[in-house]
Amino acid sequence: MRHELQGCCGGFTRSEAIRDALAAGRRRSVREWDPRMPVPAGTGIDRRRFLAGAAGGLLSVYGAGRIGLSSRLLGEGIAEAAALQGPASPVLVSVFLAGGIDALSVLAPVGDPLYAKLRPTLAVPASAGLPFTEDPRLHWHPSATSFAELHNAGKVTVFPGIGYSSPDMSHFTSRHYWEVGATETRLATGWLGRYLDVAGSPTNPLQGLSMDGEMNPTLATARNPVAAIDRPEDFSLWLNGVWGEVFTWTLDSASALGDGQRRSADPALAQVAQAASEVGILRRALAPFRDANGNAAYTSPVSYPKSSQGDFPQRLAGLAAMLAAGLPLRCVAMTTDTQFDTHSAQEQMFDSGLTVVADSIAAFQADLEARGIADRVLVHVWSEFGRRAQENGSAGTDHGAAGVSLLVGTRASGQMVGGWPGLTNLDANGNQEANVDFRAVYCSLIEQWFGDDAGAVIPEASGFVRPQLIR
Amino acid sequence: MAHQSLADAETDGARPRTLTMPALDPSPIAVFTGPFTEVHATRLLWRAGFGPRPGQARALAALGLEGAVASLTRPAGAARLIGRPPHGADGRPLDPINVWGDDHCWWLDRMVRSDLQLVERMTLIWHSWFATSIEASNAQLMLGQNRMMRARALGNFHDLLIEVTRDPAMLLWLSGTSNTKYSPNENYAREVMELFTLGADRGAYTQHDVHEQARALTGFRNDWSNSGPTNFRFDPSLHDDGMKQIFGHRGRFSWRDTCRLCVEHPLHPSFVVAKLWGYFVGTPASARDARGLAKTYVRSGFEIRPLLEAILRHPLFYDGPRMVIPPIVYTAGLLRAQELTITTDDWAWIGEEAGQRLFDPPNVAGWDYTHWLDTSRWAGRFTTVTYALQDRVLNPNAKSYPMGENASHALEKALGYWGDPPLSAQTRANLLAFSRRAGQGITADWEQVTYRILRQNALRALIPTTPDWQTC
C-alpha cells in the first residue's frame, strides 16, 4: 500500500512499480530466443546492404560514435536541421510539476504571521530551509535546497505569484491553458508546438521532443513533426524470428507504410501513419545512445540522484547526452514522476517528490556546464496552479490560483519577477492572486530566448508586458 | 479472494453461444439502411467489443444489423469464457490481487475470452469515464470496482453513479474518506461534476456549487490496517447535515442528493450523450441526433442500453471516419484473431508502453481517446505485435520450407494467417514491395530457406502494424 499517494486526486504520473517493470521488460526485450538476432534495432547485419537500401533518403547511424556523433550520419531532415541550427541554437526544456504544487511550501512565508494561522499543521518551520535572498520573508522548502543554491548562484529566475486572471481551479482546464498558452479551452495546439509550426522544420521530429513516453500537449503541433520517447536508450524495436537485413527492411517497410498514409484525409489513419513514419527517423537518430544490451551507451560527467518514483533524473541525463551529441532539439517537454496534488499527506509528498525534482534539475545544470553547453539551455519549471492558502484539515491543501514557476539556466536573469503576492489580498475563494501572467512569460521566452516573434504564437500577444528574463 | 469469474462458465469453445435475436425498440435517431456486410460487422466487433475471432464477422453479418446489435446489447445469461484459462510466463496461474501486473492480465483475459463482448467493452469505458487508479488503493479494491462496473455495464447511469460515489477505490482516489464536516475536501465534488456528469466550461456549476457539494459528500470514512485500507463506511457523525445550496436548490443534502442533483441537472443528458457517443463514433453527433438521444435517456430514467442500441445502429457508426483502436483493444484483438489466450504476464508492461495500463489511467480524466499514438506509443504497439506472435513464430533454423513461395504467395499466406483483413490497395502494394525486397535479398544458398521464413514472420508482423489494421 502506497500510503504517501492516498491523498492524490489524479495520478498524473506513473508509479515506481510500472517504471521498474518497464525497465525490466525492456531488458528482457533483448531475446536469447534466436542466436542469430543479436543486432539492435535499426542497425542491420550487413551495413553495406542497409545503407544501399535505406528508404526515404535516410542514412543509417549504425556504427556512429557514442556521444558527439556526426550529423552527417543522421537522417537528412535531422542533419539538415542540425546544420541550420548551429551549435549555439537555444533549447527550451519545459518541466511540468503536475497536480498544482503548493507555492506557499516551495517558498514558505515563514516571516508572515498569517502563514502560521492559515497553515496550523503544514507551515514550514522558520528554522528549516535556506532563506530566499530576494525577499527575506520567504524561505525555500528544505526539499528545494538545490533550487536555493542555484538561485544564490544567480541561475534561477523566480515567479512567486504566477497565473492568470479569472483562475480556473480544474486541473485539466488550468493545465490546458498553460499547455496551449491561452485561456482558451478549444485550442488544440501547444504553445511550443505552435512555435515549432512557425519556426521549425517539416522534416525534423526531434525539434519537439516529449520525454514522457507519450506526447506532451505543450508540444502538439498542427503541421510540423514532433516525437515522444522515454530515455534515448529505451527506443528500440525487435521481433522474434526476423533478424539481420530482413529485419531492417521490415522496419523500413513499417515506416514506408506510414509515409504512404501520413497525409490521409482520414484523421485516424493519418495519426497512426505519422507515428509510424516518424519512428523511422527516430530509431536511426537514437541508435547510438543504446548499446547491444539495451543500456545507455553514453556516460554523464556528473552523477544524477536516484529516485524511487521513476526515471526523471535519468531522462534528464539522457537529454544532456542528446544535446551534447548535437541532435537538433529545440523544445523539449517532460513531466516529473511525482505529482503534487496534495489534498492530503502533503509533507510526505514534498519530502520525497520535490527533493528529487530539485536535485535532478541541479544535476542537469551541472551536467550541461561540464559539457560546455549550459548557455544554450533554459529549463522552465511550471505547475497548473498553486493551492488554497488555508490548509484543508486532511493535512493537505485544495486547488488554488496563483502558483510558483522557475526558469533555470546560466542565462536566466536571476531576478525575481512580480514579487511575492502576500497573504492579505486573497481572492473570494481564499487563493493568492497572480501578479504575473504566464502568457507574458511565454512571450518573453519566444522573443528573448528564441529571438522570434511572439505575435505569431501567443494569442493577443501584444497585450502582455514582457518581463526581462534573459541576461 | 473475491474472483469475478466464479459466476462465469469456462468453456472450450466447442459450443458457441446460441445467438438470440430479441427485437430492438425503434431508434430515436437515424438508422443505417445499407446492406450489413462482413465489413460492417467487423467494425461493430472492433468498436463494441475487442475485434473478431476467425469467422465471427461473417456469422454476425448473417444476423443483419438489428440482430447483430441485439446480440451485443441484450445478452442472455452469464458470460462464458472461451478458450484456455490464462497463465503467467512460467505457467503459474494469474494472481491478480497479489502479483504486480496480474490485475491487468486478468482483465485482458476477459476481454479476449468473454462472449459478452459489449459488457466487457462498456466496463472498459466506465473505467475510463470514472477513471480510478490503483496508485491510490490496491488490486483488491480495483477489482471490486471492476466487478461493480461490469454488473452495471449496460444498466442505469444514476445507479452506477451512486455505486461509484461510495466505491472504496474511488473514495481513496478522490479523497472521499478525507472529506469530513470538520475539514471539507473538494476533490470528488469537483470531479463528479466536471468529469463524470456535467462537464467543465458549460456554465453547469460554480465554485460555490463545488464547495456545497463537498459538504454534502462528507461522512465517508475507512480504517487502515496492516494490510491496507479497510472497513469503508458512512459515519453520520462526520457528515455535515446543515443547509446547502446546490444549483440553486436548498436542502440538507447528502451524498445521494449529490448524485441525484447531478443526473437531474438540465445539462447532464447532453453531457452523457456526447461522451458516450464519442467512444463509438469518430465524429460528433448532429445537434438533432444529440437531442433525440438525450430525450430517450431522460424518458428511460437514465438507462444506458437504449443509447447504445441507437448509437450502434446509426449511419455514422458505419459510414463515418475511422477511429484508432485503443491499445488494450488492439492487444485483445490480436490474440482473438489467432484464437490465443494469455500465456505471459508481460502484457502489463507492454500495456503501459502502448499507452493503456488497465487499472492505472493517466489521470482522473481517463484515457484520451482522440490521441492514442505518437512515436513512443507506436513502438509500444510494435512490441505488442512481437509478443502476440511469439507463440506462433516460424523457426528460421528449420531445415526446409516451401521453395515455391514467391513474394506474392508469401503475402497471400500472411494475409490468410490474419483472416484476410480488408487493406487498402496502397498498403498491399507496400507490403508486396517488402516481400519482393526480401526475396531479392536471397543470395547465398543458406538464405533460400531461412530468408523465406524470415520473410513470412516479418509479413505476419507487418500486417497488424499497418494504419489500416490499427484503425477501424
Name the residue facing A21 among B100, B373, B383 (closest C-beta): B100
Task: Round to whole Å and give the CA distance between A295 and A285.
Answer: 16
Chain CA centroid to CA B163, Å: 20
pLDDT attached to residue A84 = 63
Of all residues in chain B, the one with the smallest CA distance to A393 is: B183
Of all residues in chain A, the one with the smallest CA distance to B472 is: A268
**Parts of chain A belonging to CATH 3.40.720.10:** 74-235+293-463
Q: Using the beta-carbon criterion (under 8 Å), do B462 and A274 form an inter-chain contact?
A: no
* B448 has pLDDT over 70: yes
C-alpha cell at A363: 544535476
pLDDT attached to residue B258 = 98
Q: Using the beta-carbon criterion (under 8 Å), do B462 and A25 form an inter-chain contact?
A: no
Read off the pLDDT band of A12 (50, 70, 90). Answer: very low
Q: Using the beta-carbon criterion (under 8 Å), do B100 and A267 form an inter-chain contact?
A: no
B455 touches chain A (CB under 8 A): yes
Task: Round to whole Å and give the CA distance between A1 and A23.
Answer: 22
Q: Are A400 and A366 in contact (CB under 8 A)?
A: no
Of all residues in chain B, the one with the smallest CA distance to A270 is: B467
Secondary structure (3-state) at B432: helix
A282 touches chain B (CB under 8 A): yes
Task: Round to whole Å and give the CA distance between B13 and B16.
Answer: 6
Residue of A36, A119, A253 to mutate when probing chain B, most B C-beta within 10 A: A253
Query: Chain A closest CA to B151's CA: distance in Å?
Result: 25
Give one word for A422, left, alpha or beta, with left for phi > 0 and alpha for psi -120 to 50: left
Task: Round to whole Å and give the CA distance between B395 and B392.
Answer: 9
Torsion (CA) B390, B392, B396, B397 in degrees, nearest 10: 100
Task: Round to whole Å and give the CA distance between B260 and A360.
Answer: 47
B202 touches chain A (CB under 8 A): no
Q: Which residues of A240-256 are buried (b: 16+ CB within 10 A; e: fewer)?
A: bbbbbbbbbbbbbbbbb
Query: Chain B closest CA to A261's CA: distance in Å?
Result: 8
Name the residue facing A230 among B323, B376, B396 (closest C-beta): B376
* B3 has pLDDT over 60: no
Which residues 182-241 of chain A have a CB within 8 Å of chain B?
A: 185, 205, 210, 213-215, 227-230, 235-241
Q: Using the beta-carbon criterion (under 8 Å), do A272 and B471 form an inter-chain contact?
A: yes
Q: Using the beta-carbon criterion (under 8 Å), do A29 and B457 form an inter-chain contact?
A: no
Task: Round to whole Å and give the CA distance between B33 and B23.
Answer: 17
Which residues 365-394 of chain B have a CB within 8 Å of chain A?
A: 365, 371-379, 382-383, 385-386, 389-390, 393-394
Boundaries of every domain in chain B: 4-155+266-319, 393-472
pLDDT attached to residue B365 = 87
Size of interface A-B (CB pairs under 8 A): 257
Of all residues in chain B, the one with the smallest CA distance to A244 is: B454
Read off the pLDDT band of A310 (50, 70, 90). Answer: very high
Could you list the beta-strand ranges (E) of B305-443. Answer: none
Q: Are A380 and A92 in contact (CB under 8 A)?
A: yes
Task: Round to whole Å and give the CA distance between B56 and B373.
Answer: 28
Task: Round to whole Å and give the CA distance between B305 and B309.
Answer: 6
Of all residues in chain A, the one with the smallest CA distance to B136 is: A6
From residue A231, give the alpha-carbon distance in Å to each of A312, A382, B148: 9, 21, 38
Chain CA centroid to CA B396, Å: 36
Query: Which class is A74-235+293-463 in CATH?
Result: alpha beta
Please report residues of B whose CB lies closer than 8 A to that of A2: 135-136
Mean pLDDT of chain B: 94
Percent of chain B with pLDDT over 90: 87
Task: Round to whole Å and give the CA distance between B362 and B371.
Answer: 13
Q: Using the beta-carbon criterion (under 8 Å), do B441 and A246 form an inter-chain contact?
A: yes
pLDDT attached to residue B290 = 98
The 10s digit of each residue's pLDDT in A16-51 is 333 333 333 333 322 222 222 222 222 222 222 222
Read off the pLDDT band of A181 (50, 70, 90). Answer: very high
Percent of chain B with pLDDT over 70: 95
Task: Round to whole Å and give the CA distance between B336 and B51.
Answer: 7
B5 touches chain A (CB under 8 A): no
Query: Chain B closest CA to A10's CA: distance in Å?
Result: 5
ipTM of the complex: 0.93
φ, ψ (nearest 5 deg) of residue B249: -90, 145
Please report residues of A whose CB lies closer than 8 A to that of B367: none
pLDDT attached to residue B263 = 98
Which residues 13-52 of chain B have a CB within 8 Å of chain A?
A: none
**CA nearest to A357, candidates A101, A177, A122:** A101
pLDDT attached to residue B1 = 36
Model pTM score: 0.81
The 10s digit of each residue's pLDDT in B366-406 is 998 988 999 989 999 999 999 999 999 999 999 999 999 99
B471 touches chain A (CB under 8 A): yes
Burial class (CB in 10 A: 0-12, 13-18, 19+), A465: exposed
- Residues with Cβ within 8 Å of A392's Cβ and at least 6 positions away in sequence, in order, are A343, A344, A398, B183, B184, B185
B417 touches chain A (CB under 8 A): no
Q: Are B115 and B78 in contact (CB under 8 A)?
A: no
Instruction: Out of A58-62, A140-144, A208-212, B261-265, pick the least confident.
Output: A58-62
B283 touches chain A (CB under 8 A): no
Q: Using the beta-carbon criterion (under 8 Å), do A250 and B376 form an inter-chain contact?
A: no
The 10s digit of each residue's pLDDT in B233-272 is 999 999 999 999 999 999 999 999 999 999 999 999 999 9
Residue of B190, B375, B426 to mutate when probing chain A, most A C-beta within 10 A: B375
Read off the pLDDT band of A144 (50, 70, 90). Answer: very high
Task: Round to whole Å and give the CA distance between A179 and B83.
Answer: 46
Q: Using the beta-carbon criterion (under 8 Å), do A429 and B437 form an inter-chain contact?
A: no
In 3-state terms chain B splits into helix, strand, coil percentages (rounded to 5) of 55, 5, 40
Q: What is the mean pLDDT of the segment spanning B264-291?
A: 98
Mean pLDDT of chain A: 83
B453 touches chain A (CB under 8 A): yes
